[in-house]
């Protein structure tokens, strides 16, 4: 089962068609390829699902899928796209903590077994290779802004939104299907 589209191919197409010449295009393709697999270093605070909550959802899961392609099955605990053959639980996760009008759950994948803590020092390739919906909330969990961006723009977009008055945190979702991906805060925020 797949329920996501990827957008990285469009970047590579644009890079190949760049007016800056073949060498510049080649460098851009290499750079994007590095991001695709290794992620992009960030000073922002990436907050994936809490492992305790992830295990609670796993224990209640009734729907499981076997990854039959890569990428396409993004685990929201380890923030990696599952390898072909991995088994994942498809669960409903509510990332909100307060009773605001925006309080809602969304579908997410989790590896069937506990997959540990991710590296949060870099925006994972899982985000960089997708089109994303970035939603900004205040401390009362009221939405103040929302933007759809390509994943490679997430770092800049998140930093800009978090710099705005009253924005306390961001929720990042896949733009196409709305699956929640992670929360982003400024460093030092709770």
Q: At its nearest, how many Å lie between Zn ion and the CB of residue 91?
A: 13
With respect to Zn ion, which residue has the nearer C-beta, 74 or 151? Answer: 74
Q: At its nearest, how many Å lie between Zn ion and the CB of residue 47?
A: 16
Q: Is 75 in the site for Zn ion (CB under 5 A)?
A: yes
ω into 95 cis (within 30 of 0): no
**Candidate list 15, 78, 154, 179; residue touching Zn ion; CB under 5 A:** 78
Total number of residues that touch Zn ion (CB under 5 A): 5
Q: At its nearest, how many Å lie between Zn ion and the CB of residue 103?
A: 25
| Residues in 86-125 at the binding interface with Zn ion, rule: CB under 5 A | 111, 115
* Residue ranges in contact with Zn ion by CB under 5 A: 75, 77-78, 111, 115
């Amino acid at each position: 089962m797949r329920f996501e589209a990827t957008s990285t191919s469009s970047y590579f197409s644009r890079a190949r068609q760049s007016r800056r010449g073949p060498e510049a295009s080649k460098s851009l393709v290499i750079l994007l390829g590095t991001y695709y697999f290794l992620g992009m270093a960030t000073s922002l605070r990436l907050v994936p699902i809490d492992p305790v909550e992830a295990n609670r959802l796993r224990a209640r899961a009734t729907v499981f899928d076997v990854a039959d392609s890569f990428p396409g099955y993004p685990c929201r605990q380890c923030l990696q796209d599952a390898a072909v053959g991995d088994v994942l639980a498809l669960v409903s996760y509510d990332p909100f903590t307060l009773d605001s009008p925006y309080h809602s759950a969304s579908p997410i994948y989790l590896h069937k077994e506990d997959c540990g803590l991710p590296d949060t020092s870099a925006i994972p390739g899982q985000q960089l290779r997708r089109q994303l919906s970035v939603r900004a909330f205040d401390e009362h969990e009221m939405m103040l802004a929302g933007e759809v961006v390509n994943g490679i723009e997430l770092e800049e977009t998140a930093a800009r939104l978090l710099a705005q008055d009253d924005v306390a945190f961001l929720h990042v979702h896949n733009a196409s299907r709305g699956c929640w991906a992670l929360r982003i805060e400024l460093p030092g925020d709770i």
